[in-house]
Homo-oligomer: A and B are copies of this chain.
Amino acid sequence: MNNKRVVVFRKEHFNAAHRLNNPLWTIEENKKIFGRCNNEHYHGHNYELIVQVTGEIDPETGYVIDMKILSNLIEIEILNRFDHKNLNLDTVEFKNINPTAENIAVVIYDLLRNKLNASLELKIRLYETERNFVEYPA
Interface set of A (CB-CB < 8 Å, partner B)? 4-13, 15-18, 20, 22, 24, 33-37, 39, 41-46, 54, 57, 60-64, 66-68, 83-86, 89-90, 97-103, 105-106, 121, 129-138
Contact = CB atoms under 8 A, between A and B. Distances in A.
B9 A102 contact: no
A101 B8 CA distance: 9
A24 to B, nearest CB: 8
A109 to B, nearest CB: 9
A50 to B, nearest CB: 9
B33 A16 contact: no
Closest 8 interchain pairs by CB?
A44-B44, A41-B86, A62-B100, A36-B84, A62-B98, A5-B138, A17-B17, A7-B135
A44 B46 CA distance: 7
Given A4-B137, A39-B85, 18 more contacts: A4-B106, A6-B106, A8-B133, A9-B133, A15-B44, A16-B43, A16-B44, A33-B66, A39-B90, A42-B42, A43-B44, A43-B84, A44-B44, A45-B46, A61-B100, A62-B98, A64-B102, A64-B134
> Which of A42, A66, A129 is packed against the most chain B CB atoms within 10 Å?
A42
